[in-house]
Amino acid sequence: MTFGSVLTQTFTTPKWNPKTGLPDLTGKIAIVTGASTGLGKETALNLSSKGAHVFCVGRSAEKTQAAVADIISKSGNTNVEFLQADLMDLASVESAADTFLARNLPLHILVNNAGIMESPWGLSKEGIETQFATNHFAHVVLTAKLLPVLEKSQPSRIVILSSMSHYANLSSQKGGIKYVTSWEQDKYDAFTRYGETKLANLHFARELQSRLDAKLGVDSKIYVNAVHPGIVRTELQRTMNPTAASVIQPILISAEKGALTQTYVAASEDIEKQNLKAKYFVPYCKVAEISADAQDKTQAVNTWEWTEKILKQQYKPDWTFGL
């Protein structure tokens, strides 16, 4: 699948909609990161509208609680809660997971949605470059903490937001991610780095499914999939180069449309019926091919091992994913 064909798909009329396409989700528990706005908020609304109990992860209590109130009023479902986590602070991420785990609830759906794009140079609390910290490392740590409950709650899903940017033919991306061991401002290119983080999302999704299947058997009912949502009008463009942002304005789709594909992957019965694992979905609700770099098993293993290495080095010396 080419970059152009994914773009074209964004502008086809969606045939699927969550109202008729999803089963009753009463009794299902979901966590959605980045639910204060944009695609995360729409996904939380779609799931709660079908009866799921949804935990909305956000860094700002004020902004995310306002989103929760809006979701409750639109869905009529009062089982929507705020879970505080700043993805730029891994202790905060683990603490959010602990808060959830203390409730002794099952977990059927984890949507690793939060993200930033082309942000200016910066470092997280642990000293990890900002885009990699938010888009990849924080979600790896969150997923590791929640994996035991996802295993116990099978059938369960992990949905990872990637992007068509993973296979933009950037010169620095040929051959994949640059596995740095120290983060250097002078080598930082915000556009390229975003693409690298979205490639890391795909490597993580595929390698996680592969390791889960090796541990639990190929018949296990944890489904890990990745999504490109479309080119969507959200707050993601806030840090984008203003000229580039104005050029893409006319081609942006609404957050409501953009959230369709990830909602489908999170909760449609098709995923289990068709045993869809380690796939990449594009608008609307279609499986697509990924770049050669993303398909490369060696690169996926390298990304996994590098991730553990960075987390040991910059977070906790004994950190391990445990798979």
Residues that bind ligand NAP (CB under 6 A): 34, 36-40, 58-60, 63, 85-88, 113-117, 134, 161, 163, 228-229, 231-232, 234-236
Using CA atoms, how far apart are residues 73 and 234, in angstroms rounded to an integer?
21
Q: C-beta of 215: minimal distance to ligand NAP in Å?
A: 27
CB distance 103 to 83 below 8 Å: no
Name residue, tokens 């942002």: 245
Catalytic residue, candidates 198, 257, 277, 279: 198
Q: Sign of the C-alpha dihedral, residues 125, 129, 133, 135?
A: positive
Q: Which is nearer to ligand NAP, 107 or 116 (CB)?
A: 116
CB distance 69 to 41 below 8 Å: no
Q: Which is nearer to ligand NAP, 44 or 153 (CB)?
A: 44
Complete DSSP assignment for 50-109: TT-EEEEEES-HHHHHHHHHHHHHHH----EEEEE--TT-HHHHHHHHHHHHTTT----E
CB distance 146 to 100 below 8 Å: yes
Q: C-beta of 21: minimal distance to ligand NAP in Å?
A: 20
For residue 290, the SS3 value is coil
Q: Which is nearer to ligand NAP, 88 or 199 (CB)?
A: 88
Q: Which is nearer to ligand NAP, 108 or 228 (CB)?
A: 228
Q: If you compute the radius of gyration of the chain from its CA atoms, what whole number of angstroms results? A: 18
Q: C-beta of 275: minimal distance to ligand NAP in Å?
A: 25
Q: Among this protein's residues, is 221 annotated catalytic? A: no
Q: Which is nearer to ligand NAP, 153 or 198 (CB)?
A: 198
Catalytic residue, candidates 167, 194, 223, 280: 194
Q: C-beta of 133: minimal distance to ligand NAP in Å?
A: 8
Q: CA angle, 295 as apex, 118 and 213 as ends, to 5°?
A: 110
Q: C-beta of 217: minimal distance to ligand NAP in Å?
A: 30
Q: Among this protein's residues, is 194 annotated catalytic? A: yes
Residues annotated as catalytic are: 194, 198
